[in-house]
Amino acid sequence: MNPLLLALGSMFLQQTCVALGRALPAVIAPAIITDLAIDAVWVGVYFGLAAAAALVAQLGCGSFIVRYGAMRVNQISLVMVAAGTALATLGTPAMLVLSALVCGSGGAVSTPASSHLLGRVAAPGYLPLVFSIKQTAVPAGLLLAGVFGPLMTQWRDWRFTMLACAALCVAFAAILHPLCRTFDTDRVPTQGFRVSDFRTTLAAVLATPELRALSFACLAFNGLQSVMTAYFVVYLTTIGYTPVAAGFVFSVAMAVAVPGRIVWGWLGSTRVGPRTMMAGLALGMAASGVGLALSGPDWPTLAVGLTACAMSATALSWHGILLAETARAAPEGMRGAVTGGVLSFGQVGALSLPIVYSGLLDATGRYGIGFFVCGLPAALIGAHLLRRPRARVT
């Protein structure tokens, strides 16, 4: 079988499982909130903790990818997501915190590892398209969570749903095992891990203007994506939707991101410069945030759904372009580490913006204001990317 197709297919399915596990707590949050008698504000806290763990994991994962191999690290990622998902079913505050930390750190290393692998087997000119196809796994996982999460929870309960997801992750980790011998031929068993690796990775990202710009874009984009993922279903249930209906609207919106990522990747590979493409997506997601902020119980389902689809087509569809540009700009042999460094800024956004949203929700009791405020960083990034870089004076 063609190595690129085998690598792309395996990474797609692996990332689908990871996305499913990471999104499930948000999609079935109404059931968890009711059963455990906790406030909806804690949804943001859970995802904030997961993002904090992901930030550390992505900054430090480069040495582990080199030492153990990208495919092996993807196996480890699946097992950690499974463990974190299972821990949540214990339902105590301590176990929920531990679940967020294990799930967040385990799922976070998946993208740097897959970038390291696909960067080796894909032609440089087609990296935006290849990365975009692989990243469609994220909305695919969210779609599965939106469709099956509420249905399985209604059929049994939320704990059964979480444990079923954990079992799926473990099963696919076992399926990936034979591929380690095929794709981990570049690993360096003598590679060590040092605390200074965090500083080295961060310095490599911040020292390069192009990577620095991508990092701040990732912060704004990933933060808004996390807000959308964490709060959209809960928000719909507060304006009259049943959990199953809210999950369906969420799934339809997530489905839009699948072709969206591929189309943006194709355009970024052939027709439009990546900087211009990211600027358009940034302004689009900011406008969608305004739309969600204005929505309410009097809006027809079609209008709410179209606004959510616009958010999905932008805030959940930028990954392939940004990751491909990161891989292109990374020093040779540092794709995994530099990708982790850029994505760690995204985790800063995923940590801070849901907490900002939670604070606004707690202070105002309104869900809409958070969508508006959390879209502002994307608007600023979009305006910045539209400016032409200044020519150097010699």
Kindly report, residue by residue over 262-314, the tens digit of the pLDDT: 888 778 767 777 788 888 999 999 999 999 999 888 899 899 999 999 998 99
Residues in the chain: 394
Count of CB atoms situated within 10 Å of the CB of 370: 25
Q: pTM to 2 decimals?
A: 0.74
Q: What pLDDT, on the 0 to 100 scale, is given for residue 61?
A: 78
CATH topology of domain 3-177+204-386: Growth Hormone; Chain: A; (1.20.1250)
List all residues 6 or more positions away from 84 whose beta carbon is below 8 Å from its beta carbon.
21, 98, 99, 100, 101, 102, 103, 104, 106
The token pair that represents 251 in the structure block: 């799934």
Residue type present at position 275: R
- Rounded CA gap, 381 and 282, in Å? 7
Q: What is the pLDDT of residues 6-53, one digit of tens each?
A: 999 999 999 999 999 988 988 888 888 888 887 777 777 888 788 888
C-alpha dist (Å) from residue 378 to 169, 254, 260, 287, 370: 33, 19, 18, 9, 14
Angle at 47 between CA 315 and CA 204, to 5 degrees: 70
SS3 for the chain, per residue? CCHHHHHHHHHHHHHHHHHHHHHHHHHCHHHHHHHHCCCCHHHHHHHHHHHHHHHHHHHHCHHHHHHHCHHHHHHHHHHHHHHHHHHHCCCCHHHHHHHHHHHHHHHHCHHHHHHHHHHHHCCHHHHHHHHHHHHCHHHHHHHHHHHHHHHHHHHCCHHHHHHHHHHHHHHHHHHHCCHHHHHCCCCCCCCCCCCHHHHHHHHHHHCCHHHHHHHHHHHHHHHHHHHHHHHHHHHHHHCCCCHHHHHHHHHHHHHHHHHHHHHHHHHHHHCCCHHHHHHHHHHHHHHHHHHHHHCCCCCCHHHHHHHHHHHHHHHCCCHHHHHHHHHHHCCCCCHHHHHHHHHHHHHHHHHHHHHHHHHHHHHHCCCHHHHHHHHHHHHHHHHHHHCCCCCCCC
Residue type, 149: G
The pLDDT, as a whole number, for residue 54 is: 84
Per-domain boundaries in the chain: 3-177+204-386
How many alpha carbons lie under 13 Å from residue 52 in its C-beta half-sphere?
14
**Parts of the chain with a pLDDT under 50:** 390-394
